[in-house]
């Protein structure tokens, strides 16, 4: 009888806190296989003069963050899906979780001084997520 894979959403911003959350999740689950999606949220583009440069830089940072998560899982023989999304709000993340029918969300909590976007999303998820949330500090 096949075991159902747990659907896991990893939300990353590329910070040490996000990467620590992934490493702790892998340790706690002993490297078991899961259906993992890594999500990087590109903040809404501020009203700046060089919007194109900002967008390219954000996509580069997002790709690097997703590559790091991919490597952490690849090191244990696990493949993942990667999503780079622009302009996501906390409520949009909740919709993403519901539509993906995730069983667990894994994220870091860097605190607002380090990453206000991720910290705000982590706090919002802790209160409103339809599934369990693993937040590493």
Domain map (residue ranges) of the chain? 33-102
What pLDDT score was predicted for residue 112?
45
User: pLDDT of the chain along its 137 residues, tens only?
Assistant: 456 789 999 999 888 889 999 999 999 998 789 999 999 988 776 667 777 888 888 899 999 999 999 999 999 999 999 999 987 778 889 999 999 999 999 998 865 455 555 667 888 899 999 999 999 88
Residue 49's pLDDT is: 74
pTM score, whole prediction: 0.88
Q: Report the pLDDT value the prediction gives residue 121, as an integer from 0 to 100.
A: 82
Q: SS3 string of the chain?
A: CCCCCCEEEEEECCCHHHHHHHHHHHHHCCCCCCEEEEEEEECCCCCCCCHHHHHHHHHHHHHHHHHHHHHHHHCCCCCEEEEEEECCCHHHHHHHHHHHCCCEEEEECCCCCCCHHHHHHHHHHHHHCCCEEEEEC
Between CA 15 and CA 116 the distance in angstroms is 12
């Amino acid at each position: 009888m096949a075991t159902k894979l747990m659907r896991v959403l990893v939300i990353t911003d590329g910070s040490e806190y996000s990467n620590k959350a992934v490493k702790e999740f892998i340790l706690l689950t002993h490297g078991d296989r899961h259906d993992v999606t890594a999500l990087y949220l590109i903040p809404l583009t501020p009203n700046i003069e060089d919007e194109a440069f900002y967008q390219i830089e954000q996509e580069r940072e997002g790709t690097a963050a997703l590559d790091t998560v991919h490597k952490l899982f690849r090191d244990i023989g696990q493949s993942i899906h990667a999503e780079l999304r622009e302009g996501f709000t906390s409520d949009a993340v909740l919709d993403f979780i519901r539509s993906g029918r995730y069983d667990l969300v894994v994220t870091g909590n860097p605190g607002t001084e380090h990453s206000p976007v991720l910290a705000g999303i982590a706090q919002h998820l802790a209160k409103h997520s339809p599934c369990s949330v693993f937040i590493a500090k």
